[in-house]
Amino acid sequence: MKVTTRDERRQRIKYRIRKRVRGTEARPRLSVFRSVSHIYVQVIDDMAGATLAAASTTEPSVKAQLGGEARGGNAKGAALIGKVIAERLKEKGVTRVVFDRNGFLYHGRVRAVAEAAREAGLEF
């Protein structure tokens, strides 16, 4: 099957990743989605089919923390989201996750989320 758009390419990469990456109760999947102006992160237990925690730059509580150079569409905003999701998971007693880059390259905002979450105490 020929890939004609960027989104189709990302979807194929995403399916390839998801064949190997599964979230369990002990080690849920941290999934990242980035749009042009925002970034969204959710932690999923695939065995139960439940979302344990989520964070995004569109939430009012996070928007209040964004300011200056940090915006939803840049790496500093993404780092803030990584820190927020790590704090929410620590409150629920989760410290280990599996990282799912969701077909995006591990670069820029996706990498900023991962590194900030690691610095805030998540292991992956």
Average pLDDT along the chain, 124 residues, taken 10 residues at a time: 86 93 94 96 96 96 90 94 97 96 96 98 95
Alpha-carbon gap, residue 63 to 77, rounded angstroms: 9
pLDDT at position 1 is 65
Alpha-carbon gap, residue 22 to 98, rounded angstroms: 8
Domain-embedded: residue 124: no
Domain that holds residue 34: 6-119
pLDDT at position 3 is 74
CATH of the domain at 101: 3.30.420.100
Domain-embedded: residue 74: yes
pLDDT at position 68 is 86
Alpha-carbon gap, residue 86 to 94, rounded angstroms: 9
How many secondary structure helices (H) and strands (E) does the chain include? Answer: 4, 4
pLDDT at position 123 is 96
